[in-house]
């Protein structure tokens, strides 16, 4: 009898918890803006101004080349056959 009562109480608690759940919706709808039009913050690269697409693409290209192993290490020893 105690097991049945405990099970019934647990079922009631779970049912009440499910009814109290709030809908998971986002607040304000955000519009997509290109990254190069983002705000200037303390982490903004020096010399870049928001809206400057050419400087943004140059910065991305420079950053990618810094992460390119072939460019970073340089040419290896010549292979001999």
CA proximity to 49, closest of 58, 62, 64, 38: 38
Average pLDDT over residues 9-26: 75
Alpha-carbon gap, residue 77 to 29, rounded angstroms: 55
User: pTM above the 0.75 mark?
Assistant: no
At residue 81, the pLDDT reads 54
37 within 8 A of 50, measured Cβ to Cβ: yes
Is the model more confident about 35 or about 76? 35
Task: Look at residue 79 and tell me whether its pLDDT is greater than 60.
Answer: no
Is the model more confident about 39 or about 21? 39
49 within 8 A of 40, measured Cβ to Cβ: yes
Q: Residue 36: is it exposed, middle or buried by C-beta count within 10 angstroms (0-12/13-18/19+)?
A: middle
Average pLDDT over residues 23-32: 74
């Amino acid at each position: 009898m105690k097991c049945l009562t405990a099970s019934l109480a647990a079922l009631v608690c779970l049912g009440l918890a499910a009814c109290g759940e709030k809908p998971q919706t986002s607040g304000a709808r955000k519009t997509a803006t290109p990254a190069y039009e983002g705000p200037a913050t303390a982490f903004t690269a020096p010399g870049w101004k928001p809206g400057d697409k050419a400087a943004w693409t140059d910065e991305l290209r420079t950053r990618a080349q810094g992460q390119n192993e072939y460019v970073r290490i340089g040419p290896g020893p010549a292979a001999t056959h």
